[in-house]
Amino acid sequence: MRIALIQNQPLFGAVESNLNRLLTLIESVDADLYVLPELCFSGYQFLSTDELRSLAVDPDGAVIGWFRQAACDRKASIAFGYPERAADGCYNAAMIVTSDGRDLRYRKTHLFYKEKEFFLPGDRGFNVIEWGGVRIGLAVCFDWYFPESFRTLALKGADIIAHCSNLVMPYCQQADFARALENRVYIATANRIGSEERDGEKLTFTGGSVLVSPRGEYLLNLPKDAEAAEVAVIDIALAREKKINRYNDIVADRRPEFYR
Ligand code: ACM
């Protein structure tokens, strides 16, 4: 299976041109699964609930339909982050849309920094979708800081964790090494680049998207400060083999009775 990491530099609020740029990046490479950043077409720093609501989209609406069409056209699956408008408020959400018209929906569980002012915390937990013989789980950015997030996805059978990100701290790309090893999964962290200055506060995103194998190999390592789309081929069998020697199986050897 071919996985593409896409990293872009959205301009805050310029939804249409951000979507067009994402399509150009997607079309520049051939892959089976494309992983895009968090909030990939809206921008990151919202200044009010009203502003967030004006840029948030309905998961069954036209903008998400655009991703569905792209997945169908490319006979691929696409994982991406977006601001979701719901009856009770807005969520920092992510979705995987598949070539056969299905989807997996996720709402960011662990909100970061000022996201807490405007977004509701995710209420769906961590889940996995099976597509093309692989099991893909979803997580969003700061979820990585809580080892339970990726562990839960691994225990639910994920082979690959699609991790849509807008990272501002420098640690995740290195931490993915441990998260991939300890769960024996592929981790695809797609991270945006560039800076965003809103209301006097400037955030700089760290780019450097990575794809890490269950053996801790960095299969992709994108630039820190340029938009990019890169592809690597992965072997799902590696993620299905939880034995690391004759004696140790990293799932069967867990001792949950001592983890509380
Ligand atoms: C983050 O969760 N966007 C850092």
108 classed as catalytic: yes
Give me the residue spans of the domains in the chain.
2-258
- Catalytic status, residue 40: no
First CA to last CA across the chain, in angstroms?
38
CA atoms within 13 A on the CB side of 48: 4
102: number of Cβ within 10 Å: 14
| Token output for 187 | 């981790």
List the one residue out of 76, 82, 26 whose CA is nearest residue 59.
82
What is the position in ligand 1's atom list of the atom closest to the CA of 166? 3
Instruction: Indicate the fold that domain 2-258 takes in CATH.
Output: Nitrilase/N-carbamoyl-D-aminoacid amidohydrolase (3.60.110)
167 pocket-lining for ligand 1 (C-beta < 6 Å):
yes
Model confidence pLDDT, tens digit, residues 41-94: 999 999 999 999 999 999 999 999 999 999 999 999 999 999 999 999 999 999
* Dihedrals phi, psi of 68, to nearest 5 degrees: -60, -45
Could you tell me which of 74, 70, 8 has the C-alpha nearest to residue 40? 8
| CB of 98 shorter than 6 A to ligand 1 | no
pTM for this entry = 0.98
**CA 10, CA 80: separation in Å to the nearest integer?**
13
Question: Both tokens of residue 89?
Answer: 């408020």
Please report, as a single letter, which amino acid is at residue 162. Answer: A
pLDDT one-digit tens code per residue, 130-180: 999 999 999 999 999 999 999 999 999 999 999 999 999 999 999 999 999
Distance CA 234, CA 213 (A): 8
243 carries an active-site annotation = no
Mutate to test the pocket of ligand 1, among 116, 167, 172 (most ligand atoms within 8 A of CB): 167
